[in-house]
Amino acid sequence: MIIKSLKLQNFRNFGKKSFDFSEGSTLIFGPNAVGKTNILEAITLLSTGKSFRAGVEAEMHREGENVTRVTGQTEEPELEVVLVSEAPNPAFGEPRQERQRGGKRVFINGVAKRVFTFAGTLKTVMFGPWDVGMVTESPSVRRRFLDSVLGQVDREYRRSLLSYEKGTRQRNRVLERIREGIATRSQLLYWDHLVIREGNYLSSARERFIDFVNSTTFPGEELSIEYDRSAISEGRLEQYKEEEILAATTLVGPHRDDINFQFSINTRSDSNFQNKSLAKYGSRGEQRMAVLWLKLAELDFIEKESGQRPVLLLDDIFSELDPQHHELILETVGKQQTILTTAEPRKFKKNFDAKVKIIEL
Ligand SMILES: Nc1ncnc2c1ncn2[C@@H]1O[C@H](COP(=O)(O)OP(=O)(O)O)[C@@H](O)[C@H]1O
Ligand SMILES: [Mg+2]
């Protein structure tokens, strides 16, 4: 599925603006702060129902406005996200209690849907400069990535994740009440079963994706990811029960998972390779490369699982990657609809053929 056009109303720095995209590649260029990343954010909002960068959704309202509309025309259907806040715009005015209310509504062909149903209709893979943080930042960043990939291809994963999150919250409450002496251990049983069942679904889906990524190669590099799984089972819950009651927290399960990036370095000249942690030993360039590897694998994984090739969104990545990887990007660009942004088009314009549509901001 491709996105043919995008209509923005009061989204970020845009008042009213429409864009048409090529079914091949579209290059958006313009100076800094003109709204290039905002356009990609709007497309991912249509894809996932969420912003990848707004801490509070109201941030997306154009300053001073409180009704924001993002509409995307795919071949079929039309997707729309409408954000409404009670005035004043809390992102700029006084922080107020209402900011969490107001709300977000999503529509497919004009029919209101739950975000849960809406998400994943249009599939996208986004790659931007901030993604290098995936290697070095906290585990929650990597878990969020896993959830976003699997959530796009598997509705059951989305359901299971919601149920698991709710289940652990409830279970934590029971743990707390046991600690306070107002609940009995048998009251944990129901929640134990639930978090074990959902937790195992989540971790086996995560494992499937990680195995897939490891089955793909990256030119000139030995990269792998290791699944640092926090297994959940009756035995494990039993083992941690006392600690859990003391902490009033569920201590094992996919909410404690992590993935570690590994690369192999030639330790001596006798081709004695060793797997090393990319977060600890890799240069920033090597870390970026690994994320590129992961994103390319993500494209193929989503296609394999859903039968639908995602739209590739590349935000300002040419300034970040080494010239030899530009080549690889350009190869990939032709394999699906791709929307790229850059502040310096001359750098690689010559590499593109005439088929690229250019939007100048
Ligand atoms: N809610 C908002 N209302 C008005 N302007 C905004 C809002 N959020 C961000 N902006 C503006 O959008 C611009 C940044 O857009 P961005 O897409 O990051 O630019 P770039 O073209 O560099 O990618 C900044 O000038 C910022 O002030
Ligand atoms: Mg930008």
Domain that holds residue 35: 1-123+308-361
Q: What order of strands is seen across the sheet that includes strand 124-127?
A: 124-127, 311-315, 338-342, 25-29, 357-360
Which residue, of 303, 319, 335, is where some domain finishes?
303
Relative to the alpha carbon of 33, which ligand is closest? 1
Find the CATH number of the domain harbouring 360. Answer: 3.40.50.300
Query: Could you list the pLDDT tens digit for every one of the 361 residues in the chain?
Result: 999 999 999 999 999 999 999 999 999 999 999 999 999 999 999 999 999 998 899 999 999 999 999 999 999 999 999 999 876 555 555 555 444 456 999 999 999 999 989 999 999 999 999 999 999 999 999 999 999 999 999 999 999 999 999 999 999 999 999 999 999 999 999 999 999 999 999 999 999 999 999 999 988 888 999 999 999 999 999 999 999 999 999 999 999 999 999 998 766 565 667 789 999 999 998 999 999 999 999 999 999 999 999 999 999 987 777 777 888 888 888 899 999 999 987 666 666 665 789 999 9
What pLDDT score does 219 carry? 85
3-state secondary structure of 159: helix
**Region at 202 (left for phi over 0; alpha for psi -120 to 50; beta for the rest):** alpha
68 lines ligand 1 (CB under 6 A): no
Residue 71 CA to ligand 2 centre (angstroms)? 21
Q: Render 272-327 in DSSP notation, one character per residue.
A: -EEEEEHHHH--HHHHHHHHHHHHHHHHHHHHHHHS-PPEEEEES-TTTS-HHHHH
Q: Could you tell me if 313 and 296 lie in one domain?
A: no
Q: Are 39 and 314 in contact (CB under 8 A)?
A: no
What dihedral angle (degrees, nearest 10) is formed by the CA atoms of 143, 149, 153, 154? 0
What pLDDT score does 141 carry? 95
Q: Could you tell me if 143 and 249 lie in one domain?
A: yes
33 lines ligand 1 (CB under 6 A): yes
CA-nearest residue, atom 7 of ligand 1 = 12
Which residue, of 303, 329, 349, is where some domain finishes?
303
What pLDDT score does 50 carry? 93
What is the pTM for the complete model shown? 0.91
CA-nearest residue, atom 16 of ligand 1 = 35
Q: Could you tell me if 326 and 196 lie in one domain?
A: no
Which tokens hold the place of 257?
A: 């998972």
Residue 76 CA to ligand 2 centre (angstroms)? 29
What pLDDT score does 90 carry? 52
Q: Which amino acid, 288?
A: R
Pocket test for ligand 1, best of 6, 9, 12 (most atoms within 8 A of CB): 12
37 lines ligand 1 (CB under 6 A): yes
